[in-house]
């Protein structure tokens, strides 16, 4: 399998399920869900039916055993198609499984000749507080149907599944084991272009989460220094683009440690990239965090330039949910303007208005509009905005954002104060 084909494979994006059967099963704290698509709509003819591949279900059983060893119950979900092994079920509540707080790993398998290729996205960890970004996008493994590769792939996938449950103590040994194997292997055994940089991103996040700051920095740096990142593949994709998430988190860690020169140096390569496309909220946050770091370093022109780049990326976006995307962009820019000392209040309020013009039901924009109105004595406008926020927050859902419980509590407190006056 050539690197060019592997580069092509990287362009596949894991699709979110649209519908699923509904059940009344309550959420269980120790369950980890793995939503698995196996050879659905492969790009070329193959010898397998949907639900079948070289390593299915042996590989999935190995993943399940590792998750059980960590004290969790794995539940493998599949689309409503025939051909899947008995290990899978298509009877699930999609609102539960794909809620931001439910540990769910998307696992897509496509077979190419003698190789199974796995695409993974940890849905529940798009945010990984206090780090800005929790998900690298997707991680790709390309591995032959061989016994020696089975353990390696199982450790990565189980580690990613545990990562969605924020259980870094359990995930880190699996990541370490997998990295030892991939560093020691050759392409005939394990072939995963940009795999190391992706794994080191997740490993760095986990190390930071458990308080190992120096080790987290080393993991991020190892990912950035992976030879794949420096491939001359400009005609197909810019490898640096796939390290933006790593650079964002590493620069954030440096800023938190007071090492602003290192933070700026980490971000510098991203300034030479073409305007990065916006696929979701995490891409927006990448621009915003860079702007915040530049502002904290006193580089106001660079901060303003990052906001300008974000607006241009929004204008160029081909998202199918462009109204929601515009609302997200303007709301986050407004919040960024409020972080200045002193806050840029008029422009922030205008940003929130632009957000609501794009998507009148976008709850976070209503919340911040209400907060600004209240803080500046516009009682009636504040009550209207905060009331609208609470009305919309019940149904607010975004794969890239956590729930709004903090904002809901604050809005209720503010409304109680406003109505008592």
What's residue 118's pLDDT? 87
Q: Does residue 326 lie within any of the structural domains?
A: no
C-alpha gyration radius of the chain: 22
- Among 144, 170, 192, the domain-final residue is 192
The whole domain housing 72 covers: 21-192
Query: Under DSSP, is residue 187 helix (H, G, I), strand (E, B) or coil?
Result: coil
Report the alpha-carbon distance of residue 143 to residue 130 in Å, rounded: 34
- Asked if residue 280 is part of any domain, the answer here is no
36, 200, 3, 245: CA torsion to nearest 10: 80
Q: In the chain, how long is the greatest CA-to-CA distance?
A: 72
Domain boundary residue, one of 134, 164, 192? 192
Q: In this structure, what token pair is assigned to residue 297?
A: 């370093």
Report the distance separating Cα 290 and Cα 288, nearest Å.
Answer: 5
Kindly give the confidence (pLDDT) of every residue in the chain, 421 residues in length, as a single tens digit, with 9 standing for 90 and above: 333 333 323 323 233 322 223 333 433 469 999 999 999 888 888 989 999 998 899 989 999 999 999 999 999 999 877 889 999 999 998 878 877 778 999 999 999 888 888 888 887 666 788 888 888 766 767 676 566 678 888 999 999 999 999 999 999 999 999 888 877 766 556 655 567 888 899 999 999 999 999 999 999 999 888 766 554 444 444 556 668 889 999 999 999 999 999 999 999 988 877 776 677 777 888 899 999 999 999 999 999 999 999 998 888 877 667 888 899 999 999 999 998 888 899 999 999 999 999 999 999 999 999 999 999 999 999 999 999 999 988 777 665 555 688 899 999 999 999 988 6
Give me 44's structure tokens: 């070329």
Q: How far apart are CA 173 and CA 203, in angstroms?
A: 10
CB 92 within 8 A of CB 77: yes
**Dist. CA 204–CA 293, nearest whole Å:** 19
Query: For residue 355, is it within any domain?
Result: no
Q: Is residue 341 part of a domain?
A: no
Cα angle 227, 230, 232; round to 5? 125
Domain count, the chain: 2
Q: How far is CA 242 from the centre of its chain?
A: 13
Distances in Å between the Cα of 388 and the Cα atoms of 335, 356, 366 are: 19, 12, 7
Find out whether 59 and 154 touch, Cβ atoms under 8 Å: yes
Write the CA distances from 211 to 109, 156, 159, 178, 253, integer angstroms.
Answer: 34, 22, 19, 22, 12
Kindly report the backbone phi and psi dihedral angles of residue 88, in degrees, each rounded to the nearest multiple of 5, phi listed first.
Answer: -100, 155
The distance in angstroms from the start CA to the end CA of the chain is 70
Indicate the pTM of the whole model.
Answer: 0.83
Domain final residue pick, 139, 165, 192: 192
Look at residue 225 in the predicted model and tell me its pLDDT: 85
3-class secondary-structure state, position 344: coil
> Does a structural domain hold residue 239?
no
Helix (H, G, I), strand (E, B) or coil at 106: strand
Q: Are 387 and 415 in contact (CB under 8 A)?
A: yes
DSSP for 1-21, please give it. --HHHHHHHTT--PPPP---B
CA-to-CA dists, residue 303 to 142, 332, 340, 341, 346, angstroms: 39, 14, 11, 14, 18
Q: Are 204 and 226 in contact (CB under 8 A)?
A: no
Whether 209 is covered by a domain: the verdict is no
């Amino acid at each position: 399998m050539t690197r060019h084909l592997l580069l092509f494979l990287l362009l596949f994006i894991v699709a979110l399920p649209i519908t699923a059967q509904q059940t009344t099963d309550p959420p269980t704290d120790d369950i980890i869900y793995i939503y698995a698509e196996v050879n659905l709509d492969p790009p070329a003819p193959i010898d397998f039916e949907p639900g079948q591949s070289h390593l299915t279900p042996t590989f999935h059983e190995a993943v399940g055993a590792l998750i059980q060893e960590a004290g969790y119950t794995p539940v493998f979900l599949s689309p409503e198609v025939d051909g899947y092994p008995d290990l899978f079920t298509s009877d699930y509540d999609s609102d539960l499984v794909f809620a931001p707080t439910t540990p769910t790993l998307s696992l897509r398998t496509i077979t190419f000749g003698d190789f199974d290729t796995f695409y993974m996205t940890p849905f529940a960890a798009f945010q990984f507080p206090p780090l800005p970004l929790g998900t690298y996008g997707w991680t790709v493994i390309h591995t032959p149907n061989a016994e020696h590769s089975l353990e390696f792939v199982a450790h990565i996938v189980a580690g990613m599944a545990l990562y969605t449950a924020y259980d870094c103590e359990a995930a880190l040994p699996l990541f370490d084991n997998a990295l030892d194997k991939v560093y020691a292997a050759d392409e005939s055994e394990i072939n995963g272009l940009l795999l190391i940089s992706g794994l080191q991103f997740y490993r760095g996040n986990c190390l930071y989460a458990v308080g190992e700051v120096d080790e987290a920095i080393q993991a991020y740096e190892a990912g950035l220094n992976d030879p794949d990142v420096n491939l001359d593949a400009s005609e197909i994709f810019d490898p640096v683009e796939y390290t933006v998430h790593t650079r964002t988190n590493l620069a954030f860690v440096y800023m938190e440690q007071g090492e602003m020169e290192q933070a700026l140096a980490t971000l510098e390569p991203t300034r030479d990239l073409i305007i990065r496309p916006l696929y979701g909220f995490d891409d927006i946050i990448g621009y915003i965090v860079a702007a915040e770091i530049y502002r904290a370093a006193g580089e106001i022109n660079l901060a303003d330039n990052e906001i300008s780049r974000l607006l241009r990326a929004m204008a160029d976006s081909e998202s199918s949910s462009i109204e929601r995307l515009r609302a997200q962009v303007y709301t986050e820019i407004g919040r960024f303007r409020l972080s200045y000392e002193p806050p840029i209040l008029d422009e922030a309020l205008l940003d929130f208005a632009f957000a609501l013009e794009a998507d009148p039901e976008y709850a976070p924009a209503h919340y911040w509009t209400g907060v600004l109105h209240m803080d500046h004595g516009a009682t009636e406008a504040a009550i209207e905005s905060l009331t609208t926020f609470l009305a919309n927050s019940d149904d607010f859902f975004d794969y890239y954002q956590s729930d709004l419980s903090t904002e809901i509590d604050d809005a209720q407190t503010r409304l109680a104060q406003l109505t008592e006056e």
